[in-house]
Amino acid sequence: MYKIVAKKTLAPAIHEYDILAPKVAKKAKAGQFIIVRVDENGERIPLTIADFNREAGTVTIVFAEAGYSTKKLAQLNAGDAIQDFVGPLGVPSHIEKFGKVVMVAGGVGVAPVFPIAREMKAAGNQVLGIMGARNKELIFWEDKMKEACSELLVTTDDGSYVRKGFVTDVLRESIEQDGKPDLVMAIGPLPMMRAVANLTKEYGIKTMVSLNSIMVDGTGMCGACRVTVGGETKFVCVDGPEFDGHLVDFEEQLMRSRQYKTEEQLALNRGGCGCGGGGKCHG
């Protein structure tokens, strides 16, 4: 069992947990993820590592209440424990001195962007952070991002905070005004990452995205998290989660992300797994 040592609600239905997991914290690196299971009957939830403290032995996760399992996770409080906390999994972010790096975060994507931006800055890069959300209520970790970046630009879809527009609007303006960066990394909802990749492709800018696919075992055995990259099948859990955004088949990913919507709704309606048993739930 893994103890929750701290809990914060960052925005409506968005929570931050510090989990006591010394072995995971010792080896965790920016860009990797863990798999959480609330209890012995729970499904496996992949979550990108948002931060870690090796001395305290804690790992920080941030998640939004989306389906039955994440809503169940959100009901826990500091002092409670979760059944499983497996990781670190996946390939760490490639950190080196590229020059100018733009980190684009959409919604909850701010959390996994943060440690990567921090490492990029520590490596000597000029780091421009662009973070966006639907509205002001959903903006969080702005101060942390300011520390991790050389400069931070914030936007909201409805204009309720700082400026109105999408992260792609801000990115295009930055490219036009300040020239092409050496690398763009985008993390957030699939449509947002696709839009960023389409934009940067126009300018020939290397772009990485971090995918959070449906997973089961997280070790490359089941194939549930497969994605097509450059015409080849890859597994997000062992080959990713980061891939060249210009090579990812986003249409396929979007289709696969929606394939369990019926089961997810059944799970919410019934207050439990909607798959009918067998441990194959994805809600």
Alpha-carbon torsion 30, 112, 21, 238, what sign? negative
Amino acid at 111: A
Question: How far is residue 47's CA from residue 44's CA, in Å, rounded to a whole number?
Answer: 10
Helix (H, G, I), strand (E, B) or coil at 125: coil
237 is in an annotated binding site: yes
CB burial readout 48-66, b (16+ within 10 A) else e: bbbbbeeeebbbbbbbbbe
> 106: closest CA among 129, 127, 126, 73?
129
Q: Collect all residues with Cβ–Cβ distance below 8 Å to 132 and sequence separation of at least 6.
A: 105, 106, 107, 154, 155, 156, 157, 165, 166, 167, 170, 188, 192
Number of neighbouring beta carbons within 10 Å of residue 267: 23
Let me know: does 271 contact 252? Beta carbons within 8 Å: no
Task: State yes or no: 281 annotated in a binding site.
Answer: no
Max distance between CA atoms of the chain, in angstroms, equals 55
- Residues with Cβ within 8 Å of 151's Cβ and at least 6 positions away in sequence, in order, are 127, 128, 129
Q: How far apart are CA 200 and CA 149, in angstroms?
A: 20
The answer to whether 222 is annotated as binding is yes
Binding residues: 222, 225, 237
Binding residues for [2Fe-2S] cluster: 222, 225, 237
